[in-house]
Structure 1
């Protein structure tokens, strides 16, 4: 049943829908925390690589912003409310906020860690989603994993000599 009492019959058990929605809520929290971190760094980066990092961070937070909606809408399609407050995100996220304004390359390190954490959160859901035969969520997770793994690689490349 959804919050209005309508029976949801999309071929997934109530238990599977609840577990998947809970897992997606964690992914949404990590994704929002990553989005906010990336946007913060976009605003505050400085130094010799300012222009390239400023542009790169903008590309990343713009993509992340779009993904937030996709994740939240999947939670809603499963019949559950999507978390949407800072207090909920803090409870659910595995990523911690960064205090102050780090130097540019430290920002990149933080973003590598956050991208990888978000990928781990998405990957942890795959067995549950596959067991439930929830192809739409599996597709969403595959897309998110592709983005987070590729972005982490690109950011790590900046740290190499």
Structure 2
């Protein structure tokens, strides 16, 4: 009953102000802080997506077909993650950037020069990138709850981290002899 009354008050306020103010229990400054960090994560996800596409398109060797399909499964998972991160930014009332320039300016990931387009080289580089993202995500989980009071994004980041852990496990498994 109390929640219903609160909803009516919020609904009445937004109708009276004729503005759809975001009232989700997280202040504007905290929502901005979370969105800023999610934008950096979005940049990393997009750069990793392109690096995985590169592996998919350019891998060579006797294991070409198997690795071509494997990298395809990985970039499809990343595509979904990218969409989810962008939507989370929108949930918080901010816009998700969609320019290569912004991604390159914000990403933590780097490109490696390679002499060969073999699967081992691609896998090693992609694994390092996933592990880097996992570390960054792990750091945000506690921060989002304790400092900015956003348990929803913390939970979202936990799920995203688990997806990267699984993709990293698959990559790592391909490196075993």
Q: TM-score, normalising length from structure 1?
A: 0.89
Q: Which residue of 1 aligns with 2:39?
A: 25
Residue of structure 1 equivalent to 2:176: 160
Please report how far the alpha carbon of residue 6 of structure 1 lies from its aligned counterpart in structure 2 after TM superposition: 5.1
Q: Do 2:141 and 2:155's aligned partners in 1 also have CA atoms closer than 8 Å?
A: no
Equivalent pair of 2:130/2:168 in contact (CA under 8 Å):
yes
Residue equivalent to 1:77: 91
Counterpart for residue 55 of structure 1 = 69
* Structure 1 unaligned residues grouped into runs of 5+: none
Relative contact order: is structure 1 or structure 2 higher (C-alpha 8 Å, sep ≥ 6)? 1
Give the structure with higher Rg (CA): 2
Structure 2 counterparts to residues 111-150 of structure 1, below 5 A: 111-131=126-146, 132-150=148-166
SS of 1:40's partner is helix
C-alpha RMSD of the superposition: 1.7
Task: Give the gaps of 5 or more residues in structure 2.
Answer: 1-18
Residue correspondences, number: 157
Question: Where do 4+ consecutive residues of structure 1 move more than 4 Å?
Answer: none
- Matching residue of 1:8: 22
